[in-house]
Structure 1
Amino acid sequence: MRPLGHILSAETTFAGFLDRRRNELAILHHVRRNLPPALAAQVGIAAVEPPELALLASSGAVGALLRQRVPDLVEKLAHAGWQFTGIRVRVQPRPPPRSPKKHMVKQLDGLSAATLRAHAERLADPELAAALRRLADHGAAPSDDEEALGSVKKQRSE
């Protein structure tokens, strides 16, 4: 079986694409190497269209910092053999990370706690009975107003 890279490089359409991508990655690597690590992680390549390079910044602040470093980057890229007359910076904000789903704590209502206590009384195993009583005591709501499922039952009956 042939590696995917060999198959794609045999096709002229894909070979050109792969060459452009390798060139972009080499330029990006050189750009990132000349930036502070925190800034480098927020930079990408938008387009390589000589004589101009377009970089992507993940936020406006990153874009501003990158624009301040454009003359230095052009000079360092020229020393490495890439002749760009200028660098454009495009800001492309990333979507905010998804916040983790909030897990609602399942609470026992008074009826469920009473059922657990009743079953605990009928058990022969004292350790299991004690565990059920602790669970019932821990999960029981202190008053009728704070019943976990009470408000749901009231809403359905109305």
Structure 2
Amino acid sequence: MVDLEQLAGQIGQFLLARGETVTAAESCTGGLIAAALTAVGGSSGWFERGYVTYSNLAKSEMLDVPAAFIEGLGAVSEPVVAAMVQGACERAGAQWGIAVSGVAGPGGGSPDKPVGTVWLAWATPQGIVTERQVFSGDRAQIREATVRHALLRLEDLLQQAR
């Protein structure tokens, strides 16, 4: 299994080499992505800021997520995470971003969004990439899997952009 601090360090090296920064907009992970990235010494050179937008109101107020997206499809949806990452990058002035919104459990699931359902979005200089995952385990395991997946995919996108 990949060590998160080592992974975050590799992400930082890519960003430093490019002269670019990253931001995070988090709901279900409550700041764990930002914590993983800033665990690396020198991360202030490439991590701009993080937004913990746990409530629907926070998503709208802090990241300009249209309330109609949340009302129509719910906070755990592709349009919401895409708007979250776009809003975070615009406000932070970052070229790269990660956004996550999901059902970490133990409650809150539904037939179409069972516990473990997470929508993720990454902003790149080329555009926004979104993805739906369903992670298994308890609340802590789902949150950890979300952080790991978000960072692994960001590293992959950074390598592709070389």
TM-score (ref. length: structure 1): 0.21
Choose between structure 1 and 2: higher strand proportion: 2
Structure of greater Rg: 1
TM-score (ref. length: structure 2): 0.20
Choose between structure 1 and 2: higher helix proportion: 1
